[in-house]
Structure 1
Amino acid sequence: MSEDLEVTATSVDGVRVVQAGGEFDADEAGTLAEALVTPFDGTALGVVADLSRVTFADSSFLHTLIEAHRCHTAAGVPFVLAQPHPTVQRLLDLTDTARFFTIAPTTTAALDEIRRARSNGHNVR
């Protein structure tokens, strides 16, 4: 859909940070899904999905986030959405799915949330 599609993954203190940008529909959702996959062997302390630059997201994008959340929760790996673009936040609100995710206002806050959850021995939502 979009030529400005961007999905990058880095590691910050053992937490996988996936930054997504551009427009996502069914054709691009797989790119995001691949980036959100993390090894469930204890090497990743958590995953942050920075959605601040996602300017369009449809139901396939939402399905990708829900599936990532389900897989990470089942594996006991915290999964946090960071700074969702207003377009993404509206999608989460309209579908009443925002309540299923831990959402942080910034990537730094999301990293702090994961560190706090891990130090308390808990998983985030």
Structure 2
Amino acid sequence: MAEEHRVDTGHAAQSGQLTVVATAADGIHVLTLSGEIDHHTGDTLRHALAVPDTPDPRVVLDMHRVTFMDSSGINILIAAHHALSRAGGWLRLAAPTHSVRRTMNIVGVDEFIDCRETVRQALSS
């Protein structure tokens, strides 16, 4: 059974908000994001991505409801990727929207952070 923990109760429908819902599936932390990732909402994401105190921490970001991401979000993802890798784990991105995927492609983040089409694919080996 998946455990759910709401990190931020902000309403993603409001401009400039980010909502993060944290669950777990088979020992993998799944963070479902809704809204915008920018310098105003970065702390919410940074806090949610704090490296779990578990051996080999694994995190999947479900990004299918992220409407916008700027360079602040890119930098947070890179930092989380490095922190999780150093701890023996990994970060995977699942179902990024077209605009978010385009931003990641331009910067080249998708070259070293694993991006999958669905959460199910991100959860599998």
Q: Say yes or no: does 1:20 pair with 2:24.
A: no
SS of the residue 2:41 aligns to: helix
Q: Normalized against structure 2, the TM-score is what?
A: 0.82
CA distance 1:23–1:74, shift in 2 (3 Å):
same
The alignment's C-alpha RMSD in Å is 1.6
Whether 1:29 and 2:42 are equivalent positions in the alignment is yes
Q: How many residues align?
A: 112
1:2–1:24 CA contact under 8 A, matched in 2 = no
Structure 2: runs of 5 or more not aligned: 1-13
Percent identical: 37
Where do residues 1-125 of structure 1 align in structure 2 (5 Å cutoff)?
A: 2=15, 5-42=18-55, 45-112=57-124, 116=125
SS of the residue 1:2 aligns to: coil
> Mind listing any 5+ residue stretches in structure 1 that lack a counterpart?
117-125
| SS in structure 2 of the partner of residue 26 of structure 1 | coil
For 2:104 and 2:16, locate their aligned partners in 1 and report how far apart those are by CA, in whole Å: 24
- In the TM superposition, what is the alpha-carbon distance from 1:21 to its structure 2 partner? 1.1
Higher helix share: 1
Residue 4 (structure 1) shift: 5.0
Question: What is the CA deviation profile of residues 55-114 of structure 1, one whole-angstrom value per residue up to 9, with x for unaligned ones?
Answer: 0111001111111001001111121111111111011111122101111110010000xx
Q: Which has the higher strand share?
A: 2
